[in-house]
Amino acid sequence: MARSLKIRAHEIDGQVIVKSVINHPMETGKRKVKKTGKKIPSHFIKEVIVSRNRRIVMEAFWGKSISRNPFLSFQIPGRKGDTITISWLDNRGNTDTANAKVR
The pLDDT of residue 18 is 98
pLDDT at 2: 56
Q: Kindly give the parts of the chain with pLDDT less than 70.
A: 1-2
Structural domain of 90 = 5-31+40-101
Q: In the chain, how many domains are there?
A: 1
Cα-trace Rg, the chain: 16
pLDDT at 21: 98
Dihedral over alpha carbons 30, 32, 37, 39 (to 10 degrees)? -50
The domain that holds 74 is classified in CATH as: 2.60.40.10
CA distance 42 to 76: 32
Instruction: In whole angstroms, give the CA distance from residue 55 to residue 21.
Output: 21
- DSSP assignment letter at 43: B
